[in-house]
Structure 1
């Protein structure tokens, strides 16, 4: 078994593309090895600022010999069919094998040396590599993310010779651009390759670079009594910018800390790729930053720190200008600007959207314990900062800056908080607001988006969701559930949102849209509960009752899940399905008898009588439990049906030859199905 090492060395690869490139290289290599019939023990890829690396361990030195039997036409088939089969297989008739009146071709192929297969595989990978953006250079035809300089290709310690667009494979690679020895050097296998790179100031593995940055950055902060502000996204990015990362602590003018901390951090992160620093003894940021250099400076990084400090000061001066200008401008001017910004050609301007959100927030406010006037006022301010200069520079700060500006303008803290947080939650990892005013505005914002795009038939399809409607629906669900908000989706959420869209040029079928949106919520709720380990079919079983109170639905699902996990629940479900099958068969023949179940009939089995009394008692108990939303008690009431149902099916013949007995027993089964159907549609439950 042998090792294959491939390095594709180029000019700088953008950090944001490196992770995806490593995954694509792994996928493409695995696919081509499999297609060639090559097995392996391990396949690993690495991506860095100037190189993609692949190492495959445990490759055979040749593919195995193969013998394949191909079925052909029958021996008595027309001559044309036989001729076509012979052309396909490349054999003659006397080379075919006849078995049970059918011709078979036995095709044999000798194995090929792995080293002979590698050039073609690498060529396919390189020429078909799915870079998000690529370029061509010189007179060649090859496209790569940046000009490709070298190719290392070693199999079993030997160079695999080939050429791609004038670039010949070999055993030479290069180390760090500035700190390294300055000349190419040869490698003989992966262990030698990795060791020589590290001795020439290149950390091959992004995990190693990330760890070095984190540990060194924390150390340079701790040495001065400060702490690093964690930022995993920035850490991943800078790990793709430096082959030999060296964190350096720099200083900035403390006056800049009068800016909102989000502005300072984003200026550092977006423009300069700096980490923010905080003082553990105080609240907020410290007047320092950490820059990750790609060199080890002889002066300990003082000159680098000073230069980066000057650059950061220029950036923060711009931010301070935006801040000061925005404070002078204010909400009235920004709101007027929204009148000229189109949200969607068929959904009007942003100003019109704000009016819809404000009206909807006012309706929702009492349902979540918020003041309607404040909810309307907060909603009217919520989108204004989209016209602010700071948000124009940093779109990530929409809402956040609005909160600061609202507070600076003298609006109540609750209003400012609602403006700041009304976009939340923006993803599964984002926090869910709990302040009633914020919840009202956040719900109104997401419902207007969701219902609006459904109204103009811009629904998600397959994996495509250009308007993030799945995220909006999940946001509504999390807001409702985390705050235990008792809101009926149809009448109290979707219908008011549709009412705000009455000015659309095209009339909308409100009932149809309500149905579609509620069904969409059901699908998103299934995804959420599935991620929590709940069964999706239980959501369908509860939604089938027509209930659209998400809090109540989840409570039912949880109680139903617990009930079905018991022996009583599992056996009663089986009894329900048996009863339903009998009733469905009768329904196909005609009407199933309905009405009161009779007891005390001559010769009536005691099991039939017992089930009749048990079903009546269960109906009373279930109704009482559902009235108080005590779903555990409703399940307990159903559990008492298990033994009578089992005994009934064990001892009683439903399809009696006596019509009166048969009708009474069908009525009884219908009663059992009906009482269980008050809790959930058990027919939609798998099992």
Structure 2
């Protein structure tokens, strides 16, 4: 079957846009092919700085013919109905329709519509033209004389030409014309090689031919292969000089999008720059020159860097290396100056400037926020085993590096530079570590703080933010989360679970609330007034604030916890069953209960007890609805008649305390094991005892006995949420 080759040749496409553009081109074209009935065998997209391409294999030569029947009005229907039917079916006379009989509805007209399939090349012409004209670049531009015309073609950079061929492997492919000549762009089978090393025109036919000829013209079209070449040659070059490459996947992807013919070279800089923190050196070289750094065998940074050129220079790259060295030397000189300037001012001496910096118009200044975090960190410290004074000191200094020169130049180094400056001025190592770690974890792949001081400050920072934004009603909505509150909540959850911390969420929210109340924030009063319908009860201000904000925020945390547990493989219904009780604020306890419940339900006792619970719950739900009452309370022992109901009541009496005791000492597996002992009595009860008997007193007593089953299981989880 025929293959399609499409190449869109332009000026340089920004490296950051290339991966998304490849995906978009492939999806837009192949989805439209499938919608048109042209099911293909395979497709692959390519990108270089100057071209975006797609190859689609195994496309049918034409669409399948279509035959369909369109039902029309009854025979003898009004003329208007017949005329409308003819028009919709594409018929010129009712004689072209056939008549069919329906035993109930009588005779009616049926039009047989046959549509021959279009040649694939005609369909592809329309598909690709529409794709080009509506391509979703994040930013695009117009150019040339055609740019002044209405509906001018736009592209990320000026589009020069298009390669578009279609045909089977055994034949000369046809050239597809898209009718874009009015925009100054023509299609054909001509592409161009490397801008400097082989700029001449190249005639191509299909993917293999196109790739091979371009490689001879110093263009590697597959970005994955360019990245592999860069990575391998960079590692080999570093190894040959006695170093190791500091790998950087993000930089590798970016550099792979900057070159068509990667040539790996090594440069150097003065040893004196190694006095700068290694992260500053790496960030300077990475951000400004898109170069990799290397390290010694012992892990220390070396005064070398690896660059990737797009040229095979006649001098072996000496001039290219020298040019990069000059730029890097200048950039490192700036970084060294910034770093040495920062060291002249102590972190605490920078804090007064935060009085003039607004964190949020409703939440106050950065100075106020730092004061709240300091207070909250001191309160959390004893709960996590941290030194109170160290936690407060760390919280006070943690944000100070935001006002330093290095962080002003490289914002991504915030926190890390705080650690370096704290160590340089003689702070305790735990305080310095907390300056860096209080931002963590910043994402799912980021490490979680483990030092108690870092934990206290990280929790205080995130919880203060969450409580504040919740109170001013700046909550995440749908896909919008401008203040990264979901990330903050997940960070709190990961810190607590990873360190097995027994903390009460409600208490933490209450501590954070106190910080806002101490500062007299008016939004707290406004929030409570709104919640209490204008009743300004100052005595109950914090209680009202906690009741409304805390409950809602706790539910938000539980939603984040659900997501995390599901990603770890926990059953969603078991998570819902544990969280449905609404009586727990300890995340570690919740996770343990979910784990215990999952193990229990994997056993036969667990499965059968669940079935017994559901049977009891269903009967109670039906009877309570019919009787208009709830069956709660203890059954009357004197009304227990059958041996099986007596045995069940006795089992409940003996097992309930055992389960409660295990639950109280947080032995959730033991509580489940105790519950499992109910299974024989529950099975026997349903096998031998009729609940809905004529004797109303006996019926009520048996429903109360069923309620005991419902209540007993409800101490561990809401079994009604469990599937199966």
CA contact (8 A) 2:342 2:405 kept: yes
What is residue 172 of structure 1 aligned with on the other side? 190
1:306-344 CA distance string (max 9 Å, x none): 221111010000101111111123324432222222222
Alignment partners' CA distance in 2, 1:76 and 1:517: 68
Alignment partners' CA distance in 2, 1:335 and 1:391: 15
What is residue 607 of structure 2 aligned with on the other side? 570
1:615-671 CA distance string (max 9 Å, x none): 222211111111110111011111111222122111110112222321221111111
Alignment partners' CA distance in 2, 1:72 and 1:622: 70
Tell me the TM-score normalised to structure 1 length.
Answer: 0.96
| Higher deviation after alignment, 396-405 or 607-616 | 607-616
| Pick aligned residue for 1:579 from 616, 620, 631 | 616
- SS in structure 1 opposite 2:344? helix
Alignment partners' CA distance in 1, 2:77 and 2:191: 62
For the structure 1 residues 136 and 685, does the alpha-carbon distance in structure 2 shift closer, same or farther, using more than 3 Å as the test? same
Alignment partners' CA distance in 2, 1:104 and 1:398: 74
- SS in structure 1 opposite 2:46? strand
| Higher deviation after alignment, 584-593 or 466-475 | 584-593
CA contact (8 A) 1:522 1:540 kept: no
What is residue 663 of structure 1 aligned with on the other side? 700
Alignment partners' CA distance in 1, 2:289 and 2:178: 41
* Equivalent residue runs for 1:589-608 within 5 Å: 589-599=627-637, 604-608=641-645
What is residue 523 of structure 1 aligned with on the other side? 559
CA contact (8 A) 1:522 1:539 kept: no
What is residue 119 of structure 1 aligned with on the other side? 125
| Pick aligned residue for 1:403 from 388, 412, 419 | 419
For the structure 1 residues 155 and 556, does the alpha-carbon distance in structure 2 shift closer, same or farther, using more than 3 Å as the test? same
* Equivalent residue runs for 1:237-636 within 5 Å: 237-280=254-297, 282-490=298-506, 492-502=507-517, 503-506=520-523, 507-509=526-528, 510=545, 511-545=547-581, 546-588=583-625, 589-599=627-637, 604-636=641-673
CA contact (8 A) 1:347 1:504 kept: yes
Alignment partners' CA distance in 1, 2:68 and 2:703: 61
| Higher deviation after alignment, 331-340 or 85-94 | 85-94
Alignment partners' CA distance in 2, 1:312 and 1:56: 44
1:151 corresponds to 2:162: yes
- SS in structure 1 opposite 2:58? strand
Alignment partners' CA distance in 1, 2:111 and 2:484: 55
For the structure 1 residues 575 and 229, does the alpha-carbon distance in structure 2 shift closer, same or farther, using more than 3 Å as the test? same
Alignment partners' CA distance in 1, 2:429 and 2:591: 33
What is residue 51 of structure 1 aligned with on the other side? 51
For the structure 1 residues 392 and 103, does the alpha-carbon distance in structure 2 shift closer, same or farther, using more than 3 Å as the test? farther
How many Å apart are 1:105 and its aligned residue?
3.6
Alignment partners' CA distance in 2, 1:251 and 1:230: 18
1:31-80 CA distance string (max 9 Å, x none): 22123221110111111111111001001111111123344456687654
CA contact (8 A) 2:47 2:221 kept: yes
Tell me the TM-score normalised to structure 2 length.
Answer: 0.92
Q: What is the total number of aligned residue pairs between the two structures?
A: 683
1:146-202 CA distance string (max 9 Å, x none): 11111000001221123321211000001111222x311101111100111111111
What is residue 238 of structure 2 aligned with on the other side? 221
What is residue 12 of structure 1 aligned with on the other side? 12
For the structure 1 residues 99 and 214, does the alpha-carbon distance in structure 2 shift closer, same or farther, using more than 3 Å as the test? farther
How many Å apart are 1:103 and its aligned residue?
4.7
What is residue 143 of structure 2 aligned with on the other side? 137
- SS in structure 2 opposite 1:380? helix
1:191 corresponds to 2:208: yes
Alignment partners' CA distance in 2, 1:178 and 1:152: 21
CA contact (8 A) 1:592 1:666 kept: no
CA contact (8 A) 2:142 2:158 kept: yes
CA contact (8 A) 2:378 2:389 kept: yes
Alignment partners' CA distance in 2, 1:74 and 1:621: 76
Alignment partners' CA distance in 1, 2:131 and 2:563: 36
Alignment partners' CA distance in 2, 1:143 and 1:240: 21
For the structure 1 residues 343 and 72, does the alpha-carbon distance in structure 2 shift closer, same or farther, using more than 3 Å as the test? farther
1:212 corresponds to 2:229: yes
1:638 corresponds to 2:661: no
CA contact (8 A) 2:128 2:178 kept: no
For the structure 1 residues 58 and 372, does the alpha-carbon distance in structure 2 shift closer, same or farther, using more than 3 Å as the test? same
How many Å apart are 1:495 and its aligned residue?
1.8
For the structure 1 residues 585 and 283, does the alpha-carbon distance in structure 2 shift closer, same or farther, using more than 3 Å as the test? same
Alignment partners' CA distance in 2, 1:579 and 1:360: 48
How many Å apart are 1:90 and its aligned residue?
2.7
What is residue 34 of structure 2 aligned with on the other side? 34
How many Å apart are 1:82 and its aligned residue?
4.6
For the structure 1 residues 169 and 618, does the alpha-carbon distance in structure 2 shift closer, same or farther, using more than 3 Å as the test? same
1:73-100 CA distance string (max 9 Å, x none): 5668765455444333333444445452
How many Å apart are 1:4 and its aligned residue?
0.4
1:680 corresponds to 2:717: yes
For the structure 1 residues 408 and 558, does the alpha-carbon distance in structure 2 shift closer, same or farther, using more than 3 Å as the test? same
| Pick aligned residue for 1:202 from 219, 223, 234 | 219
How many Å apart are 1:418 and its aligned residue?
0.3
CA contact (8 A) 1:480 1:550 kept: yes
CA contact (8 A) 1:618 1:675 kept: no
| Pick aligned residue for 1:106 from 96, 112, 136 | 112
CA contact (8 A) 2:639 2:701 kept: no
How many Å apart are 1:225 and its aligned residue?
0.6
Alignment partners' CA distance in 1, 2:12 and 2:25: 17
Alignment partners' CA distance in 1, 2:714 and 2:493: 25
CA contact (8 A) 2:48 2:223 kept: yes
For the structure 1 residues 501 and 75, does the alpha-carbon distance in structure 2 shift closer, same or farther, using more than 3 Å as the test? farther
Alignment partners' CA distance in 1, 2:215 and 2:553: 57
For the structure 1 residues 587 and 333, does the alpha-carbon distance in structure 2 shift closer, same or farther, using more than 3 Å as the test? same
CA contact (8 A) 2:624 2:631 kept: no
CA contact (8 A) 2:34 2:40 kept: no
CA contact (8 A) 1:361 1:440 kept: yes
Alignment partners' CA distance in 2, 1:77 and 1:329: 94
For the structure 1 residues 642 and 70, does the alpha-carbon distance in structure 2 shift closer, same or farther, using more than 3 Å as the test? farther
Gaps of 5+ in 2: 147-151, 168-172, 529-544
